[in-house]
Structure 1
Amino acid sequence: MPVTDVITDPENLTLTIHADFAAPVERVWAAYSDPRQLERFWGPPGWPATFTAFDHTVGGLAQYRLTGPRGEKSSGRWEFTRIEAPTLFEVLDSFVDDAGQPMEGFPAMRMTLEFSPTAEGTRMVGTSHFDSAEALEQVVAMGVIEGTKMAMSQLDTVLQDLRAYAQGKGTRLELLDDTHVRITRLVEGPRELVWRAHNEPELIRQWMLGPDGWEMTECVAAVAVGDTYRNSWAPVGDTPGQAFGFEGEALIIDAPRRAVTTERMQGTDGPTTLNDLNLYEEDGATLVTVLIEYPDLATRDMILATGMVDGMEASFRRLEAAVLV
């Protein structure tokens, strides 16, 4: 976890975050000064950022929105007041409405990010200055500390070459908390084709089969928000197991970057999970990230115990062999 300390100082009206990264200052600076890289870590898992403007000059503005898994939105704006590359920048950070204007009742703050070399890489010190103790308390109560920790936990991935981070490591599972897991898999192929393979029935049928000995008997894709999908599988021949299927609804479709769907076993009332698929391409390879939200710990552990991750790895191998050739 990059964040090593968080200091709330009501007397000086500041919130300070310390973080350490195993990368040189110039590399960390590049991540913070490129909107495409910022989009990969500025929002916490499940709330990715989209920067709609980014003028990285003194007096310039950066505008972004965070989109939650159910379509919730929160928007912000930075006004750059000081830039000393590659060691420091300062912004006026504001919550804004859909028109990009500061929102009444939400505190603005002056935020300074400083980057300095260490023996292991880079230390970042981020200090937010508030106008009042009440404004500081309001931001803390909104969960900014927890959100920042979760967001910055994604930065290590951004700072590495994508293949160095994930190539040859198969399907990986991270337990984020009692109800959230993150699954990642590097796929050797362009994002556009990986997106199609997740959304076009004729391609889905070629790879989304799980372990050998199973076939997909039904595939109805959701192509727009509000659409429902249905996927069903059955064992072939003497393969042990019973036919089953999943169904759900598309909540977000942002091709070819992100799709959020609900998922439940067919013919049941639940439990329902929330599956947040994100695709990121670098140098011809695509990192597939699936953030899954479970209703409770027991459901999480029950579903993981079915061998879900192993089945996903078998499917991803088939994807690379059958579709991305």
Structure 2
Amino acid sequence: MPVTTVEKDLDALTMTVVADFPVPTSRLWDAYVDPRQIEKFWGPPGWPATFTRHDVTVGGRSEYYMTGPDGERAGGYWEFLTVEPGRSFEVRDGFATPDGEPDADLPSTRMVYTFKPTGTGSRLMTRTIFPSLEALEQLLSMGMEEGLTAAMEQVDAVLADLASFAADLPAAAQLLDDTRVRISRVIRGPVQTVWDAHHDPALMRRWMLGPDGWTMPVCEVATSVGDTYRNEWERDGGGDRFGFTGELLESAPPYREVTTERMIGVEGPGAVNELTLTPVDGGTLLTVVVTYPDAETRDAVLGTGMVDGMETSYARLEAEVLTPA
């Protein structure tokens, strides 16, 4: 059992949970910053979590919900206050309403996660700071201690599963709910370089091409929130041109941006793309959460082979842009 101690200090309004793991701190850190991994243990047994947003940067935010055995949902969020990569992060932790907004009827806490090496692996210390004695007593009565320790007891299985999260895996899609899908891949390059490759037209024309045999004659990048972008592709020698356009809604270089997207010449609602870049062991974890207007549109787009095309582009990015000549 990884949890070694649980200490509650009613005077200091804190609860501290210490757990030891037989892996390097970098492996444990990655399990917490990778949404594919943390959602496998964050919810207590019987309440698996789904993270629809997880950008581990100062000012970033996580949004998740846990699904109970009868389909009921309980939502939560983190607001990242400090982040020291590989060492610690501090969040404001709170409950969320069904529409994802903070639940004002329940107290929020501050939680500090500290990762330290040990002689046999690594140690994680989770310190929860409550706003008042009443909040401490309320949250403990709701099962916070049991839920937190039960979740941490599931971490070992995720840490041992190296194959599912290896850096050399191709891009893969995971359905998050009826309208959202998350595409994930580790890109073997630093975050800033991967960000630049997504925003420099000269670089984008080298790799963002999908299957072989296509060119990108139009590449107009949105540089400020409110700007529009436009990308168009055609076959080598011309023909079959198509493209996408949209608006830049949010930008936090080099970690996150949110854009709208619609196919040029096609009527109807488009999609919203949330790009997140996270440094991990082996490179940069790239995740794109795409929100479609409905499940039918989502499934139709995925059925076109979109993810395979993205993988071809990401492999080209690594081989032709990120690998030194």
* TM class by smaller structure: 0.5 to 0.7
Q: Tell me the amino acid that sits aligned with residue 153 of structure 2.
A: R
How far the C-alpha of 1:300 sits from its partner, in A, is 0.7
Do residues 205 (structure 1) and 212 (structure 2) align?
A: no
- Tell me whether 1:44 sits opposite 2:51 in the alignment: yes
C-alpha distance in 2, partners of 1:228/1:185?
26
Distance (Å, rounded) in 2 between the aligned partners of 1:289 and 1:243: 27
Q: AA paired with 2:92?
A: Y
Matches within 5 A, 1:228-267: 228-237=228-237, 242-267=240-265
Residue correspondence of structure 1 range 50-89 to structure 2 within 5 A: 50-53=79-82, 62-64=90-92, 76-78=108-110
Amino acid at match of 2:191: R
CA displacement at 1:65 relative to structure 2: 7.8
Q: Distance in 1 between matches of 2:272 and 2:265?
A: 18
Cα distance in structure 1, aligned partners of 2:272 and 2:294: 12
**Structure 2 residue aligned with 1:136:** none
1:159-193 CA-to-partner distances (Å, cap 9, x unmatched) read 47989713232111112222111111121111110
- Is the contact between residue 34 and residue 285 of structure 2 (CA under 8 Å) also seen in structure 1? no
Matched letter for residue 91 of structure 1: T
1:109 matches 2:139: yes
Task: Determine the C-alpha separation between the residues in 2 that align with 1:122 and 1:300.
Answer: 34
State the shift of 1:267 in Å.
2.9
Alignment of 1:120-269 (within 5 A): 123=153, 159=159, 165-237=165-237, 242-269=240-267
Following TM superposition, by how much is the alpha carbon of 1:270 offset from its aligned partner in structure 2, in angstroms? 2.9
In structure 1, what residue type is equivalent to 2:80?
A: F
Contact 1:87 1:114 in 2 (8 A): no
Take 2:127 and 2:22, find their aligned partners in 1: how far apart are those partners?
18
Gaps of 5+ in 2: 1-18, 43-49, 56-60, 62-78, 113-121
Paired with 1:234 and 1:246, the residues of 2 have a C-alpha distance of 12
State the Cα distance separating 1:203 from its structure 2 match: 1.1
TM-score, length of structure 1 as denominator length: 0.60
Q: Counterpart of 2:284? A: 286
- DSSP 3-state at the match of 1:199: coil
Q: TM-score, normalised by structure 2?
A: 0.60
What is the Cα deviation at residue 268 of structure 1?
A: 3.3
In structure 2, relative to structure 1, the CA distance for the partners of 1:165 and 1:248 (3 Å cut) is same
Aligned partners of 2:201 and 2:221 also within 8 Å? yes
> What is the deviation of 1:237?
3.3
Cα offset for 1:122?
A: 5.5
What is the Cα-based RMSD across aligned positions, in Å? 4.2
Aligned residues, how many? 241
Verify the 8 A CA contact 1:271 1:299 in the aligned structure 2. Answer: no
Tell whether the 8 Å contact from 1:181 to 1:293 is kept in structure 2 after alignment. Answer: yes
Q: What residue is the counterpart of 2:273 in the other structure?
A: 275
Q: Structure 1 residues 299, 35: closer, same or farther in 2, change over 3 A? A: closer
Q: Distance in 1 between matches of 2:261 and 2:285?
A: 22
- Write out per-residue CA displacement over residues 117-170 of structure 1, whole angstroms, 9 at most, x where no aligned residue: xxxx9626xxxxxxxxxxxxxxxxxxxxxxxxxxx9xx987x479897132321
1:22-42 CA distance string (max 9 Å, x none): xx84379x79x9799469558
> Which residues of 2 match residues 20-35 of structure 1 at below 5 A?
25-26=20-21
Cα deviation for residue 86 of structure 1 reads 6.3
